[in-house]
Amino acid sequence: MAIAALLSKKINRPLMHRITRTDEYGIGAARPGFQGYIKMGFRADGKLLAADMYLVQESGPHATAGDFRAAGNALTMMYQPEACKFRSVPVLTNTVPMGAHRGPGENQFAALVEPMFDKAAKQLNIDRIAIRRINAPDNNGKIGKERGPLTSAFQKEALDKAAEMFKWSDRKKLSGQKTGNKVIGVGIGQGYHSAGTNGFDGLLRITSDGKLHVHTGIGNLGTYSHSATARVAADLLNCDWENVVIERGDTRKGLPFNSPQAGSLSASTQSRTMYAAAEDMKAKLMDIAAKTHGGQPADYVLGKEKVTHKSDASKSLTFKEAADKAIALGGKYSGKEVPDDLNAITKQSVGMIAGTGLIAAAKDNLPRVGVTPGLSVSMAQIELDTETGKFEIKDMICVADCGTVLHPLGLGHQISGGNVMGIGMVMERHIYDPKLGIPASVGFHQGKLPTYLDVPVEVGWAAVEKPDPQNPIGVKGVGEPVLGSGASAITSAIADALGGHLFNRTPVTPDMIINHLAGRPPAHKPLQVNTV
């Protein structure tokens, strides 16, 4: 992206930067692999008392990925061990550049470690949900070596809801059932990624036609988060969605300094900034109403696209009237003056739209203490063919601890899509010739993305629907964890189908399964990160 932007700037014209999959291995970034050692000690009831993990990461030539660190944090967060030791060695390698992919570190970790909880459950003779539940974080959960706080965690509730939705008590009886050459495996996976931050700016504008313009710097990765989060402002200002104009995608429209659409941040972070800007807009509407009709701002309440005096309904001010008044009043109402604490980008953007309506611009100064965790639980049932090493995912569900549901359809797509990516993590091979330095996953043939025929017809989904107390709307992000829970539900189901055999890796491809079933040694060697 930077190359395209620089070249475009140089020639002062739009520019399309087209690269091939081969080029991408030179200037893009692959997800780093790591090798690890983990030892876990459990109490008889399944509580994880101590964990010791050591990772060696393939970091590529530029040391640009901190996945190993995130994996360590995930260990402290997802299972809340009473004692934990974590060391890692990121190694510079003569491979393609590495970088953060979805759920960097946490998702590789989940896919590898979740099946080990099944192993522990089996040895302790306790239920696989129960061992996860006793270790799952709650609102008192801690993270990292500093044992920092969490804004909220409802993973136990997510496990309960998933168990009910998946009919776990019936489903677990299917584990290992054989029909001819087919054997059933059921798996549970959990995912975690920090999913929210704060400190960005919200920018709203009401114009003389009565429209509410939501200026947003949130991009669009196909999730339409810019619209989902804009609804927060529309709802808080009691504005019909039809009267909302979303200003996005072009800095000439005057866009504020917002969270990047990355790191599962958009929903939580942008809902906060929308809240901050909407509160500013509300205050200004009441100010103008008081200036127009007399009394104090507090005498007025927000109604349907207008503010009205609490005791005299004849004293009201519509959005349209407020916009005209704001233009006349100038100053902070029309954007001629801006709060000092806004980011320079926001100040510049407000300057671009100043005088065109009633403008609200505010920094999200709301308190937030601790990490905002996005959490999820996936469950899957597979049918594994013991003669071919292939498996079919017969059923899959996922429950997200994402706080208040901001946009049900959007959330459903996030959850289904993330789980499909998780399936891809289990199935997709990473082919690299170490001698010649050839990254060979250069086409869709070698880089085998899951297709419709590789995934379940439907991924059932639900949300815990418990609001995060540190977000004014209650929202937490959830984009990335569902990949990890999806992947780990599948690795757990494979291990279950094979009577507890752990591959301790991703991907798990048919050759590995059939080698195991045939009593052959695995083809990949120890410390071999890439598949063959």
Partner 1 sequence: MIVKDIMPQFDLFQPTQLKDALSLLDNYGKDAWKMAGGYDSLVWFKERIKRPKAVIDLSGIAEMKGVKETPDGVEIGALTNLTDIERDPVIKAKYRLLADAVSHVASPQIRNAGTIGGNASQDARCLYYRYGLPCYRAGGNTCFADTPEGINREHALFESDRCVAVSPSDGAPALVALDAKFVLKSSSGERVIGTDEFFIGPKVDITHLTSTKPEEILTAIRLPKTWANANFYFEKVADRNTWDFPLVNVAAAMKVQNGTIQDARIACGGVSAVPRRLTSVEQIIKGQAISENLAKLAGQSASRGARPLNYNGFKIPLMENLVMRAVRDAKA
Q: Which residues bind partner 1 (CB under 8 A)?
A: 18, 20, 22-23, 26, 387-390, 427, 429, 431-436, 438, 440, 442-446, 448, 450-454, 509-512, 514-515, 517-518, 520, 523-524, 531-532
Closer of 209 and 433 to partner 1 (Cβ): 433
Q: How far is the CB of 501 from partner 1 (least distance, A)?
A: 15
**Beta strand pairing status for 212-215 and 244-247?**
parallel
Q: What is the CA radius of gyration of the chain?
A: 26
What is the distance between the alpha carbons of residues 86 and 240, in angstroms, rounded to a whole number? 52
Closer of 29 and 431 to partner 1 (Cβ): 431
Closer of 260 and 499 to partner 1 (Cβ): 499
**Which residues touch 218 (CB under 8 Å, ≥6 apart)?**
225, 226, 229, 248, 258, 259, 261, 266, 270
What is the distance between the alpha carbons of residues 223 and 409, in angstroms, rounded to a whole number? 10
What is the distance between the alpha carbons of residues 303 and 287, in angstroms, rounded to a whole number? 15
Closest CA relative to residue 27, chosen from 66, 71, 60: 60
Q: Which amino acid appears at position 64 of this protein?
A: T
Q: How far is the CB of 188 from partner 1 (least distance, A)?
A: 24
The angle formed by the CA atoms of residues 434, 437 and 441, to the nearest 5 degrees, is 90
453-456: which pairs have CB atoms within 8 A and are 24 or more residues apart? 454/393, 454/423, 454/427, 455/393, 455/420, 455/423, 456/393, 456/394, 456/395, 456/396
Closer of 39 and 520 to partner 1 (Cβ): 520
Closer of 99 and 510 to partner 1 (Cβ): 510
Under a CB-based contact definition with an 8 Å cutoff, are residues 234 and 241 in contact?
yes
Q: How far is the CB of 432 from partner 1 (least distance, A)?
A: 8
Closer of 105 and 389 to partner 1 (Cβ): 389
Closer of 336 and 429 to partner 1 (Cβ): 429
Beta strands in 4-77 (DSSP E): 34-42, 48-58
Q: How far is the CB of 95 from partner 1 (least distance, A)?
A: 14
Q: How far is the CB of 97 from partner 1 (least distance, A)?
A: 13
Closer of 94 and 452 to partner 1 (Cβ): 452
Q: How far is the CB of 446 from partner 1 (least distance, A)?
A: 7
Nearest 10 degrees: Cα torsion 155, 156, 158, 159: 120
Under a CB-based contact definition with an 8 Å cutoff, are residues 136 and 80 in contact?
yes
Closer of 134 and 514 to partner 1 (Cβ): 514
Under a CB-based contact definition with an 8 Å cutoff, are residues 482 and 192 in contact?
no
Cα–Cα distances in Å, from 350 out to 89, 249, 284, 362, 402? 46, 16, 16, 11, 32
At residue 145, the 3 state secondary structure works out as: coil
Site of tokens 């007025």: 300
Q: How far is the CB of 436 from partner 1 (least distance, A)?
A: 7
Closer of 123 and 181 to partner 1 (Cβ): 181
